[in-house]
Structure 1
Amino acid sequence: MWQQTYNPLGNLYLSALVAALPILFFLVALTFLKLKGLTAAIATLALSVGMAFLIFHMPMEKVLGAAIFGILGGLWPIGYIVLMAVWLYRLAVKSGKFDVIRGSIATISDDQRIQVILIAFCFGAFLEGAAGFGVPIAICAALLVELGFKPIKAAMLCLLANAASGAYGAIGIPVLVGAQQGGVDLSEMSVMMIAIVQLSTLFVPLLLILVLDGFRGVRETWPVLILIGLLFSGLQALTLYLIGPELTDIIAPLASMATLALFMQFWQPKQIYRETGAPPVSAQRWSLQEVISAWSPFYVLTGVVLLWSVPQFKGLFAGDGLLAATVLKLPIPFLHMQVEELPPIASSVHALPAVWNVALISAPGTAILIAVIVTTLLSSRLSLWDSFNQFRTVVRDLWSPLTMISLIMAVAYIANFSGASSSIGLGLAESGRIFPLIAPVIGWLGVFITGSVVNSNTLFAHLQSVTATQIGTSQPLLVAANTSGGVMAKLISPQSIAIAAAAVGQVGRESEIMRTTLLYSLALLAYVCVWTFMLSFTV
């Protein structure tokens, strides 16, 4: 048994700074050194191993166990989801469905600014709510490329759009986990999410158009920006307040897509914006049946994922469920229940589990696989051999970004099990009453490290709650701040960047994508920090 230490250097600030070195190095490697994502990930992992062993005195067998645990977590379920999502997209292209999808979108508007709002913002949010875990970035970025957007720009736009929906992805799991781990009332946390996030969500469509076409684009599309901004953010807020986080990214995007399609029947921009090199607008029009058929892979995907989220279905895979045997639970040697977490990170000393759960059926990737199978079987232009060949191509194209994701997950797990992540959090918490100003930074770092708002809340929601009690402010506010700050890191999370690069065929250019989104991520984080600090004096 080994106990974590959170202040190995005798100075909490210095220990936190050293603990953050791998994160800082990875940022510098991608932005200033312009290393390829895989190269940067390998170097960062080596630095993390050395830091955990030499500074935090974690036994080497446990360091390696944490690294292996992280790599396995990167392969399943994350790698599984990415592979299946890109495979589904490639089959949709191969079957000709994307030609119809592209045409149906163009029918709503030839203006590609409107198409960005429809796809990256509305449809991406819907996929985030239904599936999460990188699915919306992979599918929507690829769809924008099909419509004529440059690959890097398509990836950047989809990453920016995710700032409006990332907090409620995969049927609201980030908020549910935050409330559970932080020990706060879900309805109270939902109210705080409304207070922090929904104001910025109002302006995400405007930000997308500013990036795409500057102030001219805003002047020419302002009716759409006001309509969709108010409708989307307003419905999210109402859903959070009246129902909860589970359907926040389902109701608002669906209503926004339908409203936008209807509105565009009566209004169009005076000047139609088209990207340079975009394919000409086709005069061909498709019947309603053809359009419904073309979008069918995503209907199937959404339906299956929603079924996967039903409590009764989840219960089948619980410990005493009928299908519990399909969830393989594999303890990690030298790590499982052999590392103890201490107060104030935990309420009492307890050993950390390290079990790799391989959910063969209930994993989100399996839901996408079902959509793949249905698409293959129902498409007259696809044979089983064609589908298999597309899968081989996807594996060949994605091995590098998936390896990068797995290595960064190894970095995250080393940080978590060595106590380095907690050291960063405790260092920031020493700021006292000014802590609400930097509370979102902890969530931001958590998502940057792990790639997941769920994981960030698992790591730090309890810390936020404990700190709130110590400094005399609202516990739901700081847990919500952890969630909100984390969402802004999804724009530059290595996992998100790798998925986006793979989806648009730009593997090896991850640093370029990160440079396009880094400033926006930091600006949104600054907003969350300042607004949380102001709210801390009123709640």
Structure 2
Amino acid sequence: MLSGALVASLPLLVLLIGIPLMMKPAAKVAPIALVVTVLGAILFFGLPTKVVLLAALQGGLTGIFPIMYIPFGALVIYNVLKVTGWMDKMQGAMANLTIDRRAQALLIAFGFGAFLEGICGFGAPVAIPAMILVGLGYNPMMAAMVCLVANTGPVPFGSLAIPTVTLAKTTGQDLMGLSMMTGRLMAPLAFIMAFATVYAMSRGKGMRGALGTILVTGASFAVTEFLVSNFVSAELTSVLAALVCLTATAIHLKFKAKEEPWLFEGEKASDNAAPEFHPRELFLSWLPYLLLATFIILVNLKATKPLFAGTAPGWQALLIKVQIYNPGKLYAFSWLQTPGTVMLIAGLVAFPFMGVKYAVVGAQFGKTFRQMIPSFIAVACILAISEVMNVSLPIVDPKTKLAVWGVLGTKQISMVATLSQSIVHVVSRSVYPLLSPLFGMIGVFLTGSNTSANALFGNLQVLTAKAMGLSDILMAAAGSAGASAGKMVSPQSIVIAATAVGLAGKEGQIMRQTINYTIPYVILLGLMVWAFAFLFPGLVPLGR
């Protein structure tokens, strides 16, 4: 078992050495890790070459469609808004609301960052708010740290919940069940991180006068995150929570307008006058995202979901469904229902009202594609690794009950199952819930992505939970929630933040500060998971 666990862990070691230690791009390291995975599966685990390659193909396709197609659609719209000046109008409107430095951090780093995480993720929620804060006069180091700390609560539901969707696809767990459990973990943490956001930029001296704003910001986001994730859908959780948070915070700040603002040492209120903005322009700048939320709800209603998913009679053309290597796990892509397509449609509907020409959209479509090629490569390879590591034999056709690959009665366990068995042998059942969030944190530290971390470790969590008699859906959600902590110390996230604020080469200084928030976060989350596992098991949704 030890040799099997060592071979199964080799792809993870390649990622660990290549990305955070050697600081190589994920797009260069992930293909090498994929080759190592394929060779290990064939040469050590004895899996047929053809099934391994076909599994890698299915994982890679899933990594592109629908997973990376979602942030692609969101980033196309964002780039169009940026190049046409609409994004600047949105940012100017937010800066106009307050000159209080603590409130700006909550509004821009926490609220607007959460919105960007909800629609596109992949670096934008840290880079863009950080640049805005620097433009408003924040110290670059402080701006980077504040945005990294603030960008935690929405992460599992980022990019229209693609991390949670990926977790459901790779583990076979119910998407809504994962959404519910993840929301129950993340809502309290998001509320706490609103306090951490202000503490990161003002320490204790700025906390007292900001308690009201912190409570409004944190509670509005946390409550909405809980309600949407548990009663609506995973896809809209971060988007709607951020919109409610921004609205509630803006209203609160309008009532506080006459109060003395909290400024940095040496600043005067007259030095921080914000530009004027027009309500009509503010509405139009948000129109693509308001339409996105509306359309996402419409295509996921109980009456319409089977139609747009292509499962209703006469609507099958909307579903691409192919058997690649496993008749019990078909590759499926609902191309019209996917948030990537819905995002593009929302933009195309909104742009004429905004005076944006479709030629501009076409240009940004090509630019965005080129911009995201490294991300396409990295995520496709990581999903391919995940698919190969989860292959076990025999693969049986659920209809004929005959073996498609392997021999009935001769079991070959997967690479992930081998790792799971080794964990079961060294970690007790009572301790594992405390440690489960670490897998998500390590996964994001390795890859920079909650999506990739869930693909790598999601099934490991499920198999380990089942072997220990724990809730598989709780352990899977715990790993996804733990990924938010990894975002604060992920080399990729920190490089993005440092580059955005002009501190390239000082990533180590940023990490030394964010680690102070990461450790308490993981400890608290571990205690929450342990409490759900042993004290409040009735609050955990049922898995499969």
Could you say which TM-score interval applies, normalised by the shorter chain? 0.7 to 0.9
The answer to whether 1:416 aligns with 2:390 is yes
Secondary structure of the residue that 2:387 maps to in structure 1?
Answer: helix
Change in CA separation of 1:247 and 1:407 when aligned onto 2, cut-off 3 Å: closer
Contact 1:404/1:498, CA 8 A, preserved across alignment: no
Contact 1:451/1:493, CA 8 A, preserved across alignment: no
Q: Which residue of 2 aligns with 1:459?
A: 459
**Structure 2 counterpart of 1:410, which letter?**
A
Q: Which residue of 1 aligns with 2:17?
A: 28
Secondary structure of the residue that 1:312 maps to in structure 2?
Answer: coil
The answer to whether 1:358 aligns with 2:333 is yes
Q: Which residue of 1 aligns with 2:280?
A: 289
The alpha carbon displacement at 1:489 in A equals 4.8
The answer to whether 1:336 aligns with 2:331 is no
Question: Which of these residues, 124, 128, 134, is aligned with residue 142 of structure 1?
Answer: 128
When normalised by structure 1's length, the TM-score is 0.75
Unpaired segments ≥5 residues, structure 2: 393-413, 537-544
The alpha carbon displacement at 1:458 in A equals 6.7
Instruction: Provide the C-alpha distance between the structure 2 equivalents of 1:521 and 1:91, rounded to a whole number of angstroms.
Output: 35
Question: Which of these residues, 361, 368, 393, is aligned with residue 387 of structure 1?
Answer: 361
Change in CA separation of 1:385 and 1:151 when aligned onto 2, cut-off 3 Å: farther
Change in CA separation of 1:242 and 1:45 when aligned onto 2, cut-off 3 Å: closer
Change in CA separation of 1:515 and 1:391 when aligned onto 2, cut-off 3 Å: farther
Question: Which of these residues, 352, 355, 373, is aligned with residue 377 of structure 1?
Answer: 352
Instruction: Provide the C-alpha distance between the structure 2 equivalents of 1:498 and 1:321, rounded to a whole number of angstroms.
Output: 49
The count of aligned residue pairs is 495
Question: Which of these residues, 418, 434, 442, is aligned with residue 437 of structure 1?
Answer: 434
The alpha carbon displacement at 1:388 in A equals 1.8
Contact 2:440/2:450, CA 8 A, preserved across alignment: no
Deviates more, 1:156-165 or 1:309-318: 156-165
**Structure 2 counterpart of 1:409, which letter?**
L
RMSD over aligned Cα, in angstroms? 4.5
Instruction: Provide the C-alpha distance between the structure 1 equivalents of 2:4 and 2:143, rounded to a whole number of angstroms.
Output: 39
The alpha carbon displacement at 1:362 in A equals 1.3
Q: Which residue of 1 aligns with 2:343?
A: 368
**Structure 2 counterpart of 1:55, which letter?**
F
Instruction: Provide the C-alpha distance between the structure 1 equivalents of 2:480 and 2:25, rounded to a whole number of angstroms.
Output: 29
The answer to whether 1:41 aligns with 2:30 is yes
Q: Which residue of 2 aligns with 1:299?
A: 290
Contact 2:164/2:175, CA 8 A, preserved across alignment: no
Q: Which residue of 2 aligns with 1:481?
A: 478
Instruction: Provide the C-alpha distance between the structure 2 equivalents of 1:481 and 1:165, rounded to a whole number of angstroms.
Output: 14
**Structure 2 counterpart of 1:52, which letter?**
A
Question: Which of these residues, 228, 236, 247, is aligned with residue 217 of structure 2?
Answer: 228
Question: Which of these residues, 521, 525, 530, is aligned with residue 524 of structure 1?
Answer: 521
The alpha carbon displacement at 1:365 in A equals 0.7
Instruction: Provide the C-alpha distance between the structure 1 equivalents of 2:102 and 2:528, rounded to a whole number of angstroms.
Output: 30
The answer to whether 1:83 aligns with 2:68 is no
Contact 1:42/1:407, CA 8 A, preserved across alignment: yes
**Structure 1 counterpart of 2:329, which letter?**
P
Question: Which of these residues, 55, 62, 85, is aligned with residue 51 of structure 2?
Answer: 62
**Cα deviations across residues 211-261 of structure 1 (Å, max 9, x unaligned)?**
445555546644422342344335545667788878764664444322211
Deviates more, 1:120-129 or 1:398-407: 120-129
Q: Which residue of 1 aligns with 2:411?
A: none
Unpaired segments ≥5 residues, structure 1: 1-9, 338-351
Q: Which residue of 2 aligns with 1:340?
A: none
When normalised by structure 2's length, the TM-score is 0.74
Secondary structure of the residue that 1:35 maps to in structure 2?
Answer: coil
The answer to whether 1:427 aligns with 2:422 is yes
The alpha carbon displacement at 1:283 in A equals 4.6
The alpha carbon displacement at 1:367 in A equals 0.9
**Structure 2 counterpart of 1:372, which letter?**
G
What pairs with 1:231-250 in structure 2 (closer than 5 Å)? 231-234=220-223, 236-237=225-226, 249=238
Higher relative contact order (CA 8 A, sep 6+): 1
